[in-house]
Structure 1
Amino acid sequence: MTRRSTVNGIPALWTEGPEPYTAALVVGAGVCDETLRTAGVAHLVEHLVMAAMPRTTLETNAWVDDELTVFHATGPREAVDEWLGTLCRVVRDLPLERLEVEARVLEAEDGAAAPPALAFMAGARYGTDGVGALGRHGAPSRTLTRDHVRDFVARRYVSGNAVVISTGAPPEHADVRLPDGARPTRPEARESRLALPGYVADPPVPLASWLVERTPVAPVLLTLVIEALTRSLRHDQGLVYEVDGGSSPVDDATLLAVLWADGAEEGQVRVLESTVGVLRDLAASGPEPSELAHEQAVARQRLTDPRGTVDRLVVGAYRLLAGRPVRTAEEESTDVEAVTREDVARAAARALETLLLAGTRPVPGGIAGVPDRTDDEPPPVPEVTGRPWTRRLLSTAPRDLRVVIGESGMTQTAHGHRHGGSWADLRGVAQGPDFRALVFADGGQTTVWPGHLRNGAEAIAEIDRRAGVLAFEVDADWL
């Protein structure tokens, strides 16, 4: 039974769990709360906090994902409570003198808050904000400043945006507290201009993604597809070793589901064809009753396993932060067992409508009727009125190269295609040694090379002026 309480103004969830005692601070601060300019700040804050914690014999750790940061400790009750109190003191007075060191550690770690497959699909399907941030190549960690960290912590590390969880009565330590504050609004994801269903070339392994309602049918559908592909592609054909998947929320009603597989490159098309085939079969007639019953039984076993107590408390904390009902393990099991074959069929039909496949190489003929959109040009952006810059006479750039910068935005035309966006939608400007890359909210990127323009230095100066605090320095290999 999950119980609710408060700890010095912070909501708390707890249940009597197996020994030893575990407690954690769950904060609604993840990659989806970052901007292109502040990419990596959630992870940097976690590093700064943990670097300042004293040595302990407790089992401790912390992690950051798409929507949460979690700090946890396991051991004797009194020592765990003291550790959480110390952690909250550190949060209130971060060791910002360590910022440069920890930023270098982040770059050395090169860690990601989401599986690469999920990050790729989020970036392909969405712009820079919300879930799209998982797949964005943003500012390098070394360009983060103390002000970026202070602002992120001031908005996110507040009592209304955190939950204390524990496998026993919650801590009573006076220092387990955060500044008062309400949960801030999370940036909304904006769909990219990629037409769906479709296929794109880039990742080293075959991927598939689709949208599904945030209901119990979402994990059931994903698991049914994974199981069917594992039987066919591994056990029957020997094409892959593993098929796996994951998901991330897009908004209050929708999840992005992603599936990936390993195996040789020459088998990628067959893997993706099989994925489409499984989804079509499920959309046509739903799963076999025995398959659905099996997945429901597995879900009940997982949800009621006492070894998953802490994980379920983290899920409960996430739901509480998102304003969703906190469900018991029994309630969640009952919800999954209520999923019908018709529910799965409807979810599979929507998956086919929103399907995006990906693999290493272009497939001009498409895959199982899903067209290859690798070389599709996005719709042209509206023309901007302003000062034009044209191609230098001695340049290898396209002859129609033209950059226009005005009060409302900028555009660049090359090879007959016009790209760019409005200043209101500008999310970042990468300042390279000989280029400027402007990134807009829909994920579009326009790279301006001043060396190809007449009076190109003046164009760069105007872009930098417009960029303001959104600008960040990068190396030549950032592109």
Structure 2
Amino acid sequence: MGGEKLRTTEVDGVPVYWLPGPGTLRANLWFRAGMADEPLPAHGWLHLLEHLALHGRHSIRTPVNGQVSLLHTAFDVEGEPDAVVAHLRDLCRWLSDPVFSDLDHERRVLRAESSRRGSSVVGSHLLWRYGARGPGLAGYDELGLYTAEPDGLRELAARAYAQGNAVLALSGPPPAGLELPLRPGPRMVPARSVQCDQPLPGGFAGQPAAIALSGTAVRSTAAGAMLRAFERGLQGGLRHKSGVGYSAWSSYEVVDADRAMLTVGMDVLPEAVRSAVSESIGVLRRMRDHGPDPVELRDDLDAQIRQFGTQPAHQWLPFLAARDALLGTPVTHSVDELAAETDAVTVTHVREAAMSVWRDLLVSVDPRAGGDPQLTWLSDPPAGDKPTDGRRFRPIHPEPKTALIVGASGVHRETADGRTSTPYDEVAGMISYGDGGRQLIRHDGYQVQVEPTFWRRGAQAVALLDSAIPAALHIRLPERPKDQIPRFKVRRIDTIRAWLDQPIVWVPFLVLVIIGLVLTVAPDEIASLAQRAIPIALAIAVITFVRGLRSKK
């Protein structure tokens, strides 16, 4: 097939992988830094740096591109060798000493891009699986576009674009004069992806008229084969057999050095979502219990091996090697090596991958469609402990069992539907709107919204939160339009009904009614005793009423 082995060398301390091949030279400079390495308040900084680094460098003669994935940042250029050499030299100089004269311009460009992009199904699965950190950040807007400033960006660039954190992939031999003037620095070791503590298999609300299923497995050729078999199972069952779906799709997302999240999905008829959930989970169960059909698996593996020869190895093998080298995983040195690895996959290997996916399965689906009885529906945050200290705030709207407590160690919110607590040390970031609204985002992705318009003396609650949350976690956003600021419209009749529903009002009134009845039917001595009790009952009623008023403030 293609026995030529990958060549390797080093330029300015940066490993270089390449294979000889015809055509223009393509260079891909990789760095081991991606979205999963950013904290929530800085999410988007690497994307912003990538745009700044390439601003004004594109031309017809040397087209350039850049990308930021979960674990990598890559800069692409293609052209004649001398043009590639000049581009890489100038790019590395900028990465070593970035200039931010275009910061506001590129910030606006990325905000516009973000407003059009919307959320993705894979991003929502990453968010529900990992929360507001690590791979889960792919499910969030790039909030760092609002927090980015030159000093922070410069510090990030020094770590991300260091010499020891880079690998260069080339589609041909290194050209004469190639230099990569990067600052010295170590490799960024990828952190292990940590899933949220929640019951699995689980389900969460997804897009209407669609289903998607995800799980994780050890990165391997067998995991890829399992994903393709899963996609074929959905396509065969829901489109070709039942005729309720259109086209299945799949995604293989590397989340750390060792594991990947595997996702399959399909658009289906709204009235068929319930049966589609059961049928798609049934496909995974069968693969978990019995594995794929051996003949079908063999055909799939043979097709993959043939595909390795459809595109010249010098156009893709060095780039695959660069990605894996940065993760510290074994590098594939030839097409024959990759073909042998694919040929060795067995039904047992695929079944093991399916068992791994089942163990932490997540299903996104329209909640009205119901679900499989083995799935735990995920919607409400885990109930936390109520703070033992702190200031209690009452709602402007007189709702029973509703309160906000801002304590020294966390914030607690109670409603008629339940309670949510957020310790400050579990806060990944706090969105601070210019109009006063606050949105605390926990590491598990659940949120607590604090709107000063909802609470009596709400501005004081916000001030307490601002002083309790470290400044590095504040994400300051502009003031919202007035029609987007949540407000209560309190009617007089609602106030009267709320007071009548509370014991502090009707208990003293009931006591007075009972005393009045006694006075009308009791003997003279009881009446005399009741007359002495009336002032006491009135005093109790007044004191209770006043205390109730004060507790509402």
Aligned-residue offset at 1:45:
1.0
Q: Distance in 1 between matches of 2:119 and 2:427?
A: 27
Aligned residue in 1 for 2:385? 382
Alignment of 1:307-326 (within 5 A): 307=312, 309-326=314-331
Aligned-residue offset at 1:340:
1.2
Contact 1:388 1:404 in 2 (8 A): yes
Aligned-residue offset at 1:189:
3.6
Aligned residue in 1 for 2:534? none
Matched position secondary structure for 2:184: coil
The superposition leaves residues 263-304 of structure 1 with CA deviations (integer Å, 9 ceiling, x where unpaired) of 433333333322211111112221111111112112212334
The superposition leaves residues 432-477 of structure 1 with CA deviations (integer Å, 9 ceiling, x where unpaired) of 2242111122222111122333432222112112331211223546
Aligned residue in 2 for 1:453? 455
Contact 2:284 2:358 in 1 (8 A): yes
Aligned-residue offset at 1:431:
0.8
**Which structure 2 segments of 5+ residues have no match?**
487-553
Counterpart check, 1:266 vs 2:267:
no
Query: CA RMSD for the aligned pairs?
Result: 2.5
Letter in 2 for 1:228: G
Q: Distance in 2 between matches of 1:295 and 1:304?
A: 15
Q: Distance in 2 between matches of 1:32 and 1:111?
A: 21
Matched position secondary structure for 1:150: helix
Contact 1:207 1:357 in 2 (8 A): yes
Q: Distance in 2 between matches of 1:65 and 1:252?
A: 14
Structure-2 change in CA distance of 1:63 and 1:397 (3 Å): farther
Structure-2 change in CA distance of 1:310 and 1:458 (3 Å): farther
Contact 2:248 2:267 in 1 (8 A): yes
Structure-2 change in CA distance of 1:250 and 1:296 (3 Å): same
Equivalent of 1:437, from 430, 436, 439?
439
Aligned residue in 1 for 2:122? 118
Q: Distance in 1 between matches of 2:425 and 2:129?
A: 21
Letter in 2 for 1:23: A
* TM-score (norm: length of structure 2): 0.80
Contact 2:201 2:375 in 1 (8 A): yes
Q: Distance in 2 between matches of 1:266 and 1:58?
A: 51
Q: Distance in 1 between matches of 2:201 and 2:75?
A: 39
Aligned-residue offset at 1:157:
0.7
Contact 1:23 1:164 in 2 (8 A): yes
Q: Distance in 2 between matches of 1:416 and 1:266?
A: 30
Q: Distance in 2 between matches of 1:478 and 1:271?
A: 39
Contact 2:436 2:462 in 1 (8 A): no
Alignment of 1:223-372 (within 5 A): 223-307=228-312, 309-328=314-333, 329-364=335-370, 366-367=371-372, 369-371=373-375
Contact 1:23 1:74 in 2 (8 A): yes
Q: Distance in 2 between matches of 1:184 and 1:382?
A: 37
Letter in 2 for 1:451: T
Aligned-residue offset at 1:374:
4.5
Matched position secondary structure for 1:192: coil
Q: Distance in 1 between matches of 2:24 and 2:155?
A: 36
Aligned pairs, how many? 474
Aligned residue in 2 for 1:91? 95
Structure-2 change in CA distance of 1:51 and 1:262 (3 Å): same
Aligned residue in 1 for 2:207? 203
Aligned-residue offset at 1:349:
2.4
Aligned residue in 2 for 1:415? 416
Contact 2:114 2:141 in 1 (8 A): no
Q: Distance in 1 between matches of 2:186 and 2:117?
A: 24
Contact 1:24 1:71 in 2 (8 A): yes
Q: Distance in 2 between matches of 1:295 and 1:160?
A: 39
Contact 1:130 1:186 in 2 (8 A): no
Aligned residue in 2 for 1:63? 67
Structure-2 change in CA distance of 1:181 and 1:426 (3 Å): same
Letter in 1 for 2:369: V
Q: Distance in 1 between matches of 2:116 and 2:257?
A: 24
Q: Distance in 2 between matches of 1:113 and 1:218?
A: 29
Structure whose CA Rg is larger: 2
Q: Distance in 1 between matches of 2:295 and 2:377?
A: 38
